[in-house]
């Protein structure tokens, strides 16, 4: 219980950091003022730090003696969403001051928690051995800037990361609860934006045209059948089309059609890989059948699922029960959203937990990426304490964690994004 009391002593600062970041959100790869704020805070705490060009901020704290190294991570970017001034029940405690930009996923809370974790761990560094790395990641929502941070850690830092930890606030978990999932905690997936080009014509003579709309219709239906043919009923995979644009006149067959969407899965090896490969094969075949051409405007290699390490899950649950409280843990289903923490977890054994932020009294509980999204700031106390608990348990026990990297290469890994 001493750890919770320590975090509560810094509650006002924790909330102030979160509210400042919420009021001054910045989009992916544009987090200039956000990073300046983070470095200013780290400097005031006496924590060494470095800006990684096109990647974010890395900071480090050395304990009393050499030992193992733990990496704690937060993402820092916002979304292009116009914020509502009210949540599900009442006016929000703070609202974005940047029109059309909003921390609608909770990254402002992630920044606040990680800064406070760094401050408190730095204050008790005489009591633990090893090193703590703080990673503030740019562009998680869109641009995949984590590739530059991971390149630096792997090729330039000289660090050996023995475990990693992150948390994501979650709209459907009550404030005061933290969840630690076994296996996949969040989905992998791939995004796509594709242009089909055919031959337009007059609506009275479709036989003289090669309609990209007909081509897309066939492709879309083939994809629905593909899920049944390639994905085991024991696995989970979703497909959605988010945009579809073609034509302007009711009596003219257009030359082009552009569509985009995403697919999500909890196992790249058992579901995502085959679906991705067959997606491309069917696209090629359907375009040939309908005498159309295709151009892939955006389609990175699939992002892996967020795979929690079994040993780290046990360590996290043990640490939270012991240092935060026996009632803090809750069970929850994995989340079908995706996260670039998946890449870090492919390099280092670790865990991504979920921090509850839902409260009927506060009015929080709207889904992420919506204008009504809000957080119960009381939940951040538990999220901060949970991360510190994991770090202290790891640094005090210095466990050996069996782990094998399942990657083709570093460059292949960091090229993956949604």
Query: Which pLDDT value is given to residue 18?
Result: 98
Res. 1: pLDDT tops 80? no
- This prediction has a pTM of 0.96
| CATH class name, domain 187-298 | alpha beta
* Per-residue pLDDT band at 406 (split at 50, 70, 90): confident
| DSSP code at position 126 | G
Three-state DSSP at 228 gives helix
* Per-residue pLDDT band at 112 (split at 50, 70, 90): very high
49-86 pLDDT, tens digit per residue, is 999 999 999 999 999 999 999 999 999 999 999 999 99
The boundaries of every CATH 3.40.630.10 domain in the chain are: 2-183+308-414
Which value, to the nearest 10 degrees, does the dihedral of the CA atoms of residues 223, 343, 173, 331 take?
A: 90
Query: Which pLDDT value is given to residue 268?
Result: 97
Quickly list DSSP for 153-198.
HHHTS-----EEEEEEEEEEEETT-EE--SSEEEEEEEEEEEEEE-
Q: Kindly report the CATH number that applies to the domain delimited by 2-183+308-414.
A: 3.40.630.10
306-347 pLDDT, tens digit per residue, is 999 999 999 999 999 999 998 999 999 999 999 999 999 999
Res. 8: pLDDT tops 60? yes
The boundaries of every CATH 3.30.70.360 domain in the chain are: 187-298
Share of the chain above pLDDT 70, in %: 100
Within 290-362, residue ranges assigned H as helices are 310-323, 341-347
Considering only the C-alpha atoms of the chain, give the largest distance between any 2 of them, rounded to a whole number of Å. Answer: 81
390-400 pLDDT, tens digit per residue, is 999 999 999 99
Half-sphere exposure of 388 toward its Cβ, with a 13 Å CA cutoff? 29
- Report whether 418 contacts 263 (CB < 8 A): no
**Residue 212 CB: number of other CB atoms within 10 A?**
29
- For residue 238, the cross-strand partners are 264
273-309 pLDDT, tens digit per residue, is 999 999 999 999 999 999 999 999 999 999 999 999 9
Rounded distance, CA 87 to CA 322, Å?
Answer: 34
Of 60, 61, 63, which is closest to residue 125 (Cα–Cα)? 63
């Amino acid at each position: 219980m001493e750890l919770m009391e320590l975090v509560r002593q810094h509650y006002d600062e924790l909330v102030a950091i979160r509210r400042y970041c919420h009021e001054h959100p910045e989009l992916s790869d544009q987090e200039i003022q956000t990073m300046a704020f983070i470095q200013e805070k780290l400097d005031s705490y006496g924590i060494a730090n470095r800006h990684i060009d096109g990647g974010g901020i890395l900071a480090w704290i050395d304990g009393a003696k050499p030992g193992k190294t733990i990496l704690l991570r937060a993402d820092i970017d916002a979304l292009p969403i116009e914020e509502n001034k009210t949540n599900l029940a009442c006016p929000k405690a703070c609202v974005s001051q940047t029109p059309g930009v909003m921390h609608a996923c909770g990254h402002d809370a992630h920044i606040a928690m990680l800064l406070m974790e760094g401050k408190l761990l730095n204050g008790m560094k005489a009591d633990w051995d090893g090193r703590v790395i703080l990673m503030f990641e740019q562009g998680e929502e869109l641009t995949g800037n984590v590739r530059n941070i991971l390149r630096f850690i792997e090729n330039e830092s000289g660090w050996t990361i023995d475990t990693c930890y992150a948390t994501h606030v979650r709209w459907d978990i009550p404030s005061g609860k933290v969840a630690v999932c076994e296996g996949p905690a969040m989905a992998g997936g791939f995004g796509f934006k594709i242009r089909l080009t055919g031959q337009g014509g007059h609506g009275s003579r479709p036989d003289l045209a090669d309609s990209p709309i007909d081509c897309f219709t066939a492709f879309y239906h083939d994809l629905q059948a593909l899920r049944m043919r390639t994905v085991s009923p024991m696995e989970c995979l979703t497909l959605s089309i988010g945009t579809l644009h073609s034509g302007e006149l009711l009596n003219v067959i257009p030359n082009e059609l552009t569509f985009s969407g995403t697919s999500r899965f909890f196992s790249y090896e058992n579901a995502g890989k085959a679906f991705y490969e067959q997606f491309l094969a069917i696209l090629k075949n359907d375009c040939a059948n309908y005498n159309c051409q295709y151009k892939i405007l955006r389609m990175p290699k699939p992002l892996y699922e967020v795979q929690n390490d079994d040993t780290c899950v046990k360590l996290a649950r043990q640490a939270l029960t012991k240092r935060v409280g026996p009632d803090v843990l809750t069970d929850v289903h994995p989340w079908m959203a995706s996260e670039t923490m998946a890449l870090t977890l492919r390099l280092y054994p670790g865990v991504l937990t979920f921090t509850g932020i839902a409260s009927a009294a506060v009015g929080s509980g709207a889904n992420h990426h919506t204008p009504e999204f809000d957080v119960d700031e009381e939940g951040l106390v538990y999220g901060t304490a949970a991360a510190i608990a994991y770090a202290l348990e790891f640094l005090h026990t210095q466990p050996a964690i069996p782990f094998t990297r399942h990657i083709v290469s570093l460059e292949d890994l960091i090229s993956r994004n949604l």
